[in-house]
Amino acid sequence: MDQDITSKLLHQESEEKQALTSLLERYLSAQEQLFVQKTHMGTTQGYLGSVSLEWLASRVSFALELALFSHKYDPETNNIIRDAETVEELKQRPLDWSRQAHLAQYLTVLDNHKFPPILVVISCDWVNDPTASQWDRNGRAKVSVDKFVALDQKETLGLLNIGESYSIFALDGQHRLMGIQGLIELLRTGKLNIYNKSRKASGKVINLDDLIKEYNLDPDLLQSLPHEKIGIEIIPAVIKGETYEEARRRVRSVFVHVNRMAISLSKGQLVLLNEDDGFAILARRLAITHPLLKDRHEKDWKPRINWDSATISNKSTVLITLQGLQDMVEGYLSYKFSHWRNQDKKNLIALRPDEQEIEEGLSYLSQLFDNLAMLPSYRQLEQGVTTDELRQFSHEKREGEGNLLFRPVGQVALAQALGFLVFRKQINLEKIAKKLIYFDEIGGFSYINTSQSLWYGILYDPMKKRIQVSGKKLASRLLIYLLGGVDDELEKAEIRRALAEARTIKDAATNEEKTIDFQGNFVNPKSVGLPDILKNI
């Protein structure tokens, strides 16, 4: 008896599921309706569903094409025209079209690609027509823009009309929309223009055939990408009972708030989260494993890594930023793993290296930092000297050593030079390290704000009395020269000329250019020579 009842219940449940499936299939087969669930936050009501990438690219426009922005809209760039009114009223960052190619490639190349849902507003022609019958004599809407048919008693699940008579605009996720549109264009035409930030073509293109060849992609699978689904949340442009101005204010408020709440990640945070960039992955692993960098559970221990900021303040006691460490890693290993950066491959993005290469790269880096840790300047840290004492210049309030090895630009220049010497010139790292130790012992990295320093005028600006990042390339070339990596006499002459030029300043009183030698005297530029190459020890 119990079995018969159970059997009947299961049969009934099966029939109900079939009926529901048939009903939904009938409604959802029509392109004009979308199965959604109601959402509600504050006074904002919306509908959550999913659509294909192809549908999104063809049906959804950018927020700035909405009527409430139309008088300030530039169709050439899909951006708001910047003036006093829009800057104060919208506070919205313009669309950055230089991102489209990268986002489109991300969707094309990476198997585990994923975009968060996009927030859109749905509107009708009558919204912008004050004489339309949908407005009453007081200018209030008689009906809402959205047409929702509930399928449950609580009216939370149902079908939303999204037919061609409706206009849909992205409020949040405009760059995602841009990337999806780029993907569809790439698949449809076989190529995609690369733009600058303001949507001016750079003259370069990404070809689908190049992507297929470079990343060994399946052409048939690529053609299925437009049918992938993405989440979408829809809010109505006008709700029943609203005036046009009230509706406009509500939509504009949502638009501004979702963009204002979307705080950009710091450079350090981007390195922390990046799982595709081999140099970022190695920077993180090195930061938590190498004795020179990793945290210790000691009472007076001061962390060596700034995980967030890209800069180091004067009073900071960290040794390096995570962003700076990534730059060091890339500067050193780019000569060994040049394929990790596809700079010369028609603007193609780089993919995550395999684990074997990552382990190999970590081994090279561990050897590098083992040798750097032996430098007298870094050994002072084990004696209780803080990095700010070594970093600050001698002319600052708290007189410091002005040591190049505690400045991010110096650290990166050194890593780039060593990478060239080790992997391009095939010079033994231990031999190089002995030379560096000697150079450090005689003060080669210290007091860079004095004319006696090789780095005066290169990485230190004597006029502005601050670090000069623009001299990083020359600093790296000088280190390569000092460590015996320059054989060509013409190249040596070029480095000497660049060194003299860097030490040439304009006299404020006479407006004449004067070159400073290593004794602090004004001399003829040709009198400034190169220091001796460091000998093997």
- For 45-70, write each residue's pLDDT tens digit: 899 999 999 999 999 998 877 765 55
Cβ(317)–Cβ(279) below 8 Å: no
Size of the chain, expressed as the number of residues it contains: 537
Over residues 342-370, mean pLDDT? 85
What pLDDT was estimated at residue 3? 64
How far apart are the C-alpha atoms of 485 and 325, rounded to whole Å?
24
14: tokens are 């099966």
Cβ(154)–Cβ(237) below 8 Å: no
> Confidence class of residue 474 from pLDDT cuts 50, 70 and 90?
very high
pLDDT at 513 over 90: no
How far apart are the C-alpha atoms of 273 and 276, rounded to whole Å?
9
Which of residues 327 and 110 earns the better pLDDT score? Answer: 327
Query: Residues 358-414: pLDDT tens digits?
Result: 999 999 999 999 999 999 999 999 998 999 999 999 888 778 899 999 999 999 999
A 10 A CB-CB count for 424 gives 12
How does DSSP classify residue 449?
Answer: T
Taking CA atoms, 389 is separated from 314, 393, 468, 537, in Å, by: 9, 9, 20, 30
- Lowest average pLDDT, out of 4-13, 217-226, 430-439, goes to 4-13
Residue with tokens 């596809």: 342
**Percent with pLDDT over 90 in the chain:** 59
498: tokens are 């660049």
What pLDDT was estimated at residue 368? 98
> Confidence class of residue 111 from pLDDT cuts 50, 70 and 90?
confident
> Is 172 strand, coil or helix?
strand
Query: Residues 69-93: pLDDT tens digits?
Result: 555 545 665 555 544 444 334 444 5
What pLDDT was estimated at residue 143? 95
443 exposure class (CB count in 10 Å sphere: 0-12, 13-18, 19+):
middle
Indicate left, alpha or beta for 203 from its phi (over 0: left) and psi (-120 to 50: alpha).
Answer: left
Quick one: how far is CA 92 from the chain centroid? 19
Phi–psi pair at 64, nearest 5 degrees: -75, -5
Which of residues 519 and 14 earns the better pLDDT score? Answer: 519
The domain segmentation of the chain, as residue ranges, is 19-263, 268-527
Give the predicted TM-score (pTM) of the model: 0.75
What pLDDT was estimated at residue 425? 96
How does DSSP classify residue 140?
Answer: B
Which of residues 396 and 168 earns the better pLDDT score? Answer: 168
67: tokens are 């009527």
Closest CA to 238 of 345, 143, 156: 143
What pLDDT was estimated at residue 84? 42
For 376, residues 6+ apart whose C-beta sits below 8 A from its C-beta are 437, 440, 441
Q: 380-388: which pairs have CB atoms within 8 A and are 24 or more residues apart?
A: 381/319, 384/300, 386/302, 386/317, 387/302, 387/304, 387/316, 387/317, 387/318, 387/319, 388/314, 388/315, 388/316, 388/317
Mean residue pLDDT of the chain comes to: 87
Cβ(158)–Cβ(135) below 8 Å: no
What pLDDT was estimated at residue 90? 43
Pairing label, strands 33-41, 44-52: antiparallel
356: tokens are 């074997």
Partners of 522 in beta bridges: 516
How does DSSP classify residue 15?
Answer: H
What pLDDT was estimated at residue 28? 62
What pLDDT was estimated at residue 214? 87
pLDDT at 280 over 80: yes
- Lowest average pLDDT, out of 22-31, 79-88, 316-325, 525-534, goes to 79-88
What pLDDT was estimated at residue 396? 82
Over residues 508-530, mean pLDDT? 87
How far apart are the C-alpha atoms of 513 and 109, rounded to whole Å?
53
What pLDDT was estimated at residue 87? 39
What pLDDT was estimated at residue 85? 45
Over residues 459-477, mean pLDDT? 94
What pLDDT was estimated at residue 442? 96
Over residues 27-43, mean pLDDT? 79
Taking CA atoms, 534 is separated from 70, 205, 440, in Å, by: 67, 47, 11
What pLDDT was estimated at residue 261? 62
